[in-house]
């Protein structure tokens, strides 16, 4: 509904007299109430990230969080002596979250005022309200997906991955080979639809049309033999990324129409979007059909436009386009590719559905670390 509040993506906790009872600098022992512990665990289960902004010595405060058994729930903490408004901005930037999706809870009116003054989009809460957060609509997603419940673990894996990347001395391609990346391209099931729909909502830079497909529409297409609804997942030695891509294809006699291509910005560095298009070109070439991609320029999807261009898609006439009905959305152009078989990647293993037959076994296309 239009009046529903924007969901909070990350709650930032103050520590002293907010998350725990007591002031760490004045008393070595602080206590965590059962009510606050319930909120920490509950928000985590809902896929809402949590962080810390606290005026304390980092090592001292973090060791207390570990002793209380909750340190693992917090990502990108900021514990030090700088203004809280700066800490909040740093956390939002590191997570790549808009400030309007950030919430801040603190017992001190001056700290809340500092954050509100510099970042009016951030929602601030008094410490006394901590126990009621799980009841508020802005902390209550309408639906919960598998990926949502694992969001914190995925961000923590991403941090470990980025650390390893910064410490690796060789080329990016060599680093990718060390990760043991596995890309899976499979037909979506009923259970996948919620997270696939979420992907169309959350992805803008690598969404080729900017079109959102509803849960109802996607479920109806699962039963349509002329359509393929494909979900893309990615895993490596640090953990899973969850659902990172969606392909919606309508099949015609001489062409496959890519009605939607969306991939998460979280996997841009891996080249997954490029490899996805290469796999599709290879599959189309083996099936003896052309590819026709729907593309609608938005103010944020330049990345998708470049990906199609590098893959060889062009605005050009071909008889195969005539058998494809006009796009239902305004402003959509058709990009054409006469595909050729592609060399498989050497940086990841790709398990992919054989699009030539619903009954065919999945294919392995490319082996991580293999010579190209």
d(CA 322, CA 258): 15
Q: How far does CA 45 lie from the centroid of its chain? A: 17
Query: pTM of this prediction?
Result: 0.75
Question: Long-range contacts made by residues 306-314, C-beta under 8 angstroms, separation at least 24?
Answer: 307/206, 307/273, 307/274, 307/277, 308/208, 308/277, 308/335, 310/274, 311/274, 311/277, 311/278, 311/281, 311/337, 312/281, 312/337, 313/337
Contacting residues for 234 by C-beta, under 8 A, at least 6 apart: 181, 182, 183, 184, 240, 241, 244, 267, 270, 272
pLDDT computed for residue 337 by the predictor:
97
d(CA 214, CA 346): 36
pLDDT computed for residue 330 by the predictor:
85
Q: How far does CA 333 lie from the centroid of its chain? A: 27
Q: Is the four-CA dihedral 31, 33, 38, 43 of positive or negative sign?
A: negative
| Greatest extent of the chain over all pairs of C-alpha atoms, in Å | 78
Q: Which of 50, 115, 58 has the alpha carbon at shortest distance from 81?
A: 58
What tens digit of pLDDT does each residue of 44-76 get? 999 999 999 999 999 999 999 999 999 999 999
Would you call 197 helix, strand, or coil by DSSP?
Answer: helix
Q: Give the DSSP H or E segment for 364.
A: strand 363-364
Q: Which of 83, 124, 131 has the alpha carbon at shortest distance from 105?
A: 124
Q: Which of 171, 172, 170, 177 has the alpha carbon at shortest distance from 368?
A: 177
What tens digit of pLDDT does each residue of 313-342 get? 999 999 999 999 998 888 899 999 999 999
pLDDT computed for residue 372 by the predictor:
36
Q: How far does CA 125 lie from the centroid of its chain? A: 27
Phi-psi region of 47 (alpha: psi -120 to 50; beta: other; left: phi over 0): left
d(CA 110, CA 172): 46
Contacting residues for 171 by C-beta, under 8 A, at least 6 apart: none
What tens digit of pLDDT does each residue of 69-99 get? 999 999 999 999 999 999 999 999 998 888 9
d(CA 293, CA 242): 25
How far lies 64's CA from each of 34, 77, 171, in Å?
A: 16, 14, 40
Residue in the block written with tokens 């080249």 = 271
d(CA 238, CA 181): 10
pLDDT computed for residue 370 by the predictor:
44
pLDDT computed for residue 240 by the predictor:
86
Q: Decide: 54 and 15 in contact? Cβ < 8 Å.
A: yes
Tens of pLDDT along the chain (372 residues)? 345 678 999 999 999 999 999 999 988 789 999 999 999 999 999 999 999 999 999 999 999 999 999 999 999 999 999 999 999 999 999 988 889 999 999 999 999 999 999 999 999 999 999 999 999 999 998 877 767 778 898 888 888 998 999 999 999 999 999 999 999 999 998 878 876 766 665 554 567 777 777 788 888 898 898 999 999 999 999 988 888 888 999 999 999 999 988 888 778 888 898 999 999 999 999 999 999 999 988 877 788 888 899 999 999 999 999 999 998 888 899 999 999 999 999 899 999 999 987 776 678 887 654 443
Helices (H), the chain: 34-45, 58-67, 84-95, 109-118, 146-149, 151-167, 172-178, 193-202, 215-222, 272-287, 302-310
pLDDT computed for residue 327 by the predictor:
86
């Amino acid at each position: 509904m239009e009046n529903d509040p924007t969901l909070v993506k990350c709650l930032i906790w103050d520590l002293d007299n907010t998350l725990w009872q007591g002031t760490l600098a004045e008393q070595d022992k602080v206590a965590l109430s059962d009510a606050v512990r319930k909120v920490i665990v509950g928000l985590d289960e809902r896929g809402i990230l949590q962080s810390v902004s606290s005026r304390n010595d980092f090592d001292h405060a973090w060791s207390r969080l570990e002793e209380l058994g909750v340190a693992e729930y917090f990502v990108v903490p900021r514990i030090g002596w700088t203004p809280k408004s700066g800490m909040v901005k740093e956390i939002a930037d590191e997570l790549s979250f808009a400030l309007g999706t950030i919430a801040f809870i603190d017992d001190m009116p001056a700290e809340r005022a500092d954050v509100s003054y510099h970042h009016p989009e951030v929602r601030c809460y008094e410490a006394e309200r901590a126990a009621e957060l799980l009841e508020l609509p802005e902390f209550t997603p309408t639906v919960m997906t598998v990926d949502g419940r694992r969001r914190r673990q995925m961000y923590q894996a991403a941090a470990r991955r980025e650390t390893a990347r910064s410490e690796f001395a060789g080329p990016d391609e060599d680093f990718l080979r060390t990760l043991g990346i596995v890309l899976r391209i499979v037909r979506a099931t009923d259970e996948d639809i919620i997270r696939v729909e979420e992907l169309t909502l959350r992805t803008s830079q690598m969404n080729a049309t900017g079109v959102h497909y509803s849960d109802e529409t996607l479920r109806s297409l699962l039963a349509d033999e002329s359509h393929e609804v494909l979900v893309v997942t990615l895993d490596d030695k640090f953990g899973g990324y969850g659902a990172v891509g969606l392909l919606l294809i309508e099949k015609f006699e001489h062409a496959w129409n890519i009605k939607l291509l969306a991939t998460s910005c979280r996997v841009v560095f891996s080249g997954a979007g490029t490899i996805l298009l290469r796999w599709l070109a290879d599959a189309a070439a083996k099936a003896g059909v052309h590819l026709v991609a729907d593309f609608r320029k938005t103010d944020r999807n330049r990345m998708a436009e470049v990906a199609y261009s590098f893959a060889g898609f062009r605005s050009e006439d071909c008889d195969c386009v005539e058998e494809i009905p006009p796009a239902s959305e305004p402003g959509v152009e058709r990009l054409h590719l006469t595909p050729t078989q592609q060399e498989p990647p050497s940086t990841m293993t790709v398990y992919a559905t054989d699009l030539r037959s619903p009954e065919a076994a999945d294919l392995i296309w490319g082996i991580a670390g293999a010579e190209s």
